[in-house]
Amino acid sequence: MPMDTAGIGKARNLVTMNTTPNSSPCPFHSGNVPPQAPLDAWPPGPPSGLTGWGLLWRMARGMPEALVAWQREFGDVVHLRTWPEHQIVVADPTLARELLVGNRDKLTRWERARTVFRRMHGDSVLVAEGEAWQRKRMALHPEFSRQAAHSFVPALTEIMDRAYAAWPQTDANWPIEQAFTSLAMELIVGMAFSDGMERDEARRTEQACRALMAQADAEFYHPWSWPDWMPWQRARRQAQAQLDQLIERRLLQRLAMPLANRPDDLLSRLLRLHNDDQANWPLSAVRAECKTAFLAGHETVASTLTWWAWCMASHPDAQHAARAEVVETLGDAPPAASELPALRYLSQTLQETMRLYPAAPVLISRRASCPVTLGHWRFPAGTLFLVPVQLMHHDARWFPEPRAFRPERFRLDGDSKVAGAYQPFGSGPRVCLGQHLAQTEMTLAAAMLLQRFYLSVPDGMTPPQAVLHVTQRPAQPLRLALRRAP
């Protein structure tokens, strides 16, 4: 990932790994990696030139494509020398699991990513490290457990029913991505704040989130961020203000409400933490967690449902099978939490969608706080690691016919059995906090859509191309043909 000026001192120590007189030849320089690589040698990787910043430019232009090319040429463990950093791409599922789970106590989040995300989220659980992260994670975990997610089902189905009722009877070019994004926003606002969103507010907020995500993705490849007060940062300031206003208005309304009248939602629970421990939970921390809940809470759901809709429209047989299961299990009644496990094939279509189009195709880098050994490699403290989730998801060794949409591969007896190869929500202690809630929302939204509509590909439409702006979305807003079921 991009240069981090704070890591210059660490990088000087890393240089000794391959420059001491007794060290083995570095495969990075020799272009030759032996089957049993010496512990003190770097893995192979692309030529870096004087600084390696050209590698950053290549990643900035297309991270997924660059990672595919480097894996094809250098293997599953690739060394990227981008001064002052040594970065290791780990695309082997066993080693990725060993890194994220087995070495979890030796890793911290990459400093640059924390800086970039702090501008959007504040010091939330997404950004925090060490004891602060553990405290926040433990406090928030009960709100995002599977049991808590299932308790929201009646409220979620009510919101979805209203939203789908407003969709047209038929539309040959329905803006389904925008519709799902608005729905995902309504869902998280309903659950977190017991509130709704006006159409104009939803539209402005969607545009603001898109702008902030695109800018965050670009900033990863820069060693610094321009201050918000710079004239050319006006668009970013406006986008951030829109997000701040969404949170602040609801926070002030809740603070003005008598305690006895406050609904039992995420905002009220965060305010209880504030009242009980203002030192660790000031109002700024409440705001930060609300921002993260909103941003992360709607983006993964909206992205996955958008790609799922494309997969259903472009694979009518799979759509027919999923609809038949939904009708047989639910009829035309709204789903109950107890009925979700019976929607096995529908769940498989969502799993396969997340395999093909993971919302976060590349895990944000981790830095080693002390030496780390992976397989035949031993890496010094300060090394950066990157886990390319989508690269593993698209690897024929773990998923036969990797570009094919095959939901049945996620049957219990399916052909995907490699631990660590499937990581749509990440892995290790920092696995996505909201994964159970996201899975519940997506299953409900997919089931209720199939009860009401048929999806198809508009005439003359070409398959959408994915673009990475922190999360993965279609390069152009996705539109599909929509027809209400009889």
User: How confident is the model over 102-147, as pLDDT tens digits?
Assistant: 998 999 988 888 888 888 888 999 889 889 999 999 999 988 899 9
Q: Is the pLDDT of residue 438 over 90?
A: yes
The predicted pLDDT at position 40 comes to 62
Cβ within 8 Å of residue 105, ≥6 positions away: none
Task: Output DSSP code: residue 401.
Answer: S
* Cβ–Cβ < 8 Å for 421, 97: no
pLDDT of residue 253: 95
Tens digit of each residue's pLDDT (9 = 90 or more) over 311-356: 999 999 999 999 999 999 999 999 999 999 999 999 999 999 999 9
Predicted TM-score (pTM) of this structure:
0.88
What pLDDT is attached to residue 49?
87
Three-state DSSP at 310 gives: helix
Phi, psi of 424 (to 5 degrees): -65, -25
Residue the block writes with tokens 């509130």 = 195
Domain boundaries, the chain: 91-484
Poorest-pLDDT segment among 4-8, 168-172, 437-441: 4-8
Positive or negative CA dihedral for 470, 190, 455, 329? Answer: positive
Is 335 in contact with 444 (CB distance < 8 Å)? yes
* pLDDT for residue 218: 77
Give the per-residue pLDDT at 39: 56
**pLDDT at residue 327, rounded to an integer:** 97
Tens digits of residue pLDDT in 204-221: 998 998 888 888 877 877
Tokens of 108: 């911290």
List b or e across 23-49, with b for residues whose CB sees 16 or more CB atoms inside 10 angstroms. Answer: ebebbbbeeebeeebbebbbbbbbebe
pLDDT of residue 419: 64
The Cα 395–Cα 416 span in angstroms is 11
pLDDT of residue 343: 98
Q: What type of residue sits at position 107?
A: L
pLDDT value at position 418?
62
Mean predicted lDDT score pLDDT of the chain: 87
**Cβ–Cβ under 8 Å, residues 149 and 437:** yes
Bridge partners, 367 (sequence order):
108, 384
Q: Say whether the peptide bond before residue 38 is cis (omega within 30 degrees of 0).
A: no
Going by C-beta distance under 8 Å and a sequence separation of 6 or more, which residues neighbour residue 453?
164, 167, 482, 483, 484, 485
Q: Are 212 and 120 in contact (CB under 8 A)?
A: yes
DSSP conformation class of 335: P
Q: In what order do the strands lie in the sheet with 85-90?
A: 77-82, 85-90, 384-387, 363-368, 107-109
The predicted-structure confidence for 379-434, as pLDDT tens digits, reads as follows: 999 999 999 999 999 999 999 999 999 999 998 654 555 668 999 998 888 889 99
* C-alpha span between 473 and 481 (Å, rounded): 19
Question: Which one is the CATH code of 91-484: 3.65.10.10, 3.30.1490.100, 1.10.730.10, 1.10.630.10?
Answer: 1.10.630.10
Residue-level length of the chain: 486
Tokens standing for residue 478? 């996705």
Which stretches of 194-265 are DSSP H helices? 199-219, 234-255
Contact 220, 112 (CB under 8 A): yes
Assigned token pair, 183: 């729905």
Is residue 479 pLDDT above 80, yes or no? yes
Residues of the chain above pLDDT 90, percent: 66
Phi-psi region of 49 (alpha: psi -120 to 50; beta: other; left: phi over 0): left
pLDDT of residue 16 exceeding 80: no
pLDDT > 90? residue 2:
no
| Residue 15 confidence class, pLDDT cut points 50, 70, 90 | very low
Please name the amino acid found at residue 430: R
Q: How high is the pLDDT of residue 376?
A: 87
What is the pLDDT, as a whole number, of residue 477? 94
